[in-house]
Structure 1
Amino acid sequence: MNNIIVADQTHARLARLAARHRNARGVGMQLVGLLGSQAENLLERLPDPVKTGLEGATARALESAMDVASASRTARLPDTSDWLTRAITLGTGAVGGLGGLPSALAELPVTTTVLLRAIQGIAQEHGINPQTPEGRAACLQVFAAAGPLEADDGTDLSFLTLRLTLSGGAVSKAIAAVAPRLSLVLGQKLAAQSVPLLGAAAGAATNYVFTSYYQDMARVQFGLMQLSQETGRPVEALVDDLRALLSAPRAR
């Protein structure tokens, strides 16, 4: 009987994580609707020098964000709520969008730091210490998720089983593993911020969507890690169950 109760509770928690994952994807698609036809081939709108230097810029932003975000999480500057974090990045996005691409590039490390700080707070909520090598790796791993503007069938959960070993000099190796995927996502963000006639509004909207998306993905990832610790089931098995829930037809 106890096993049945545990199984039901596990299924219920997985169902909530599946709903959160769907919500994250849905918010991104709302932004695509806002951008309209201009959302197609966003990366192609960036100048070639920006595109070629984007991965390096992303890696540098992550490196600085890791230390700054960790150092800023003190009793005098506690973690903020999800909505306040979104409000902060909405503001930085608006400022970044005011001056087009140059100001959007300058805003990139600031928003990355705020996002990583929020992810560290969510990790802490789920019993994962973001100051340990394993916790730092898990926080970086969230950024390996497909971006909010990238359409998929909702079952691309490979980032949840990515193994990043983070100890000593391996920090840079972990960042190097995440930066290529994240640079493509941030490239979409930069391109959206530079869309003609939208300016600050596009910057605010994209930052709101990206913040919401990574907050939700962090809660999915850390929720699965916490569930694995509590039930003893491997994360990989829980990911398979989550994928099945996402693939199942939704009740109408």
Structure 2
Amino acid sequence: MVSQNSVGSLSIAIENKMATLEFGHPASNSFPRELLDRLTNEINNLSANPEVSLLIIKSKGTGVFCAGASFDELLAVSNEEEGTEFFTGFANLMNAMRKCPKLIVGRIQGKAIGGGVGIAAACDYVLATEQASIKLSELAIGIGPFVIEPAVSRKIGKTALSEMTLAAHEWKTASWAKEKGLFANTFETIEALDTALADFCSKLVNFNPQALIEMKKVFWEGTAHWEILLLERAAISGKLVLSDYTKKALNQFKK
């Protein structure tokens, strides 16, 4: 099944109890709100599908995995309510991935920025290429990675998070991400990545389904409060995006 329109594409393929979700957008696989909602809805649907035991999240192409939020939509925000509503999209996605009873494996073929790092962090297991550098650039545009922070901190810790967040113009290498725990393993080429991904997932999906469900619960213990926390964080970002600093920075980035 493929869903595609002017705000990007999303395809879902189910085979051998594995559901592969592939998102795409012409602007470096960034996320307008509608595409965020579509991905969130599909994860919720697959969570209840008895024919699916494992989810794989990937993006289109061989370049950037995900450039985070849509700059065009951020620039279009005109009031605090609109800003909060936009960032609520990422909050809903993070919560859907957290609450999904099936394990989620991330396939990261290229660079991940902002929300893209958040998606990787919300996966239960991530395989990437050596070209998959990561960056949290939010402070450079006057906001911060508030909504995705709990997921990122859960994977790499507060110290590594602060290193990424405060050095907002710096890329961290895939090897750094592996060392900190965001990536389980990295590979030299996309072909090697896909071979390893297929091998890993084919083994994982044949484990006792109930045991996998129980392990997912263990992985996400202590996160029930995210249901409220991430919405509160969305409100912070929604307010900050209206600042003159952010509007000017977004226009400069776009140019």
TM-score w.r.t. the length of structure 2 is 0.28
Structure with the higher fraction of residues in helix conformation: 1
Larger radius of gyration: 1
TM-score of the pair, normalised by structure 1:
0.29
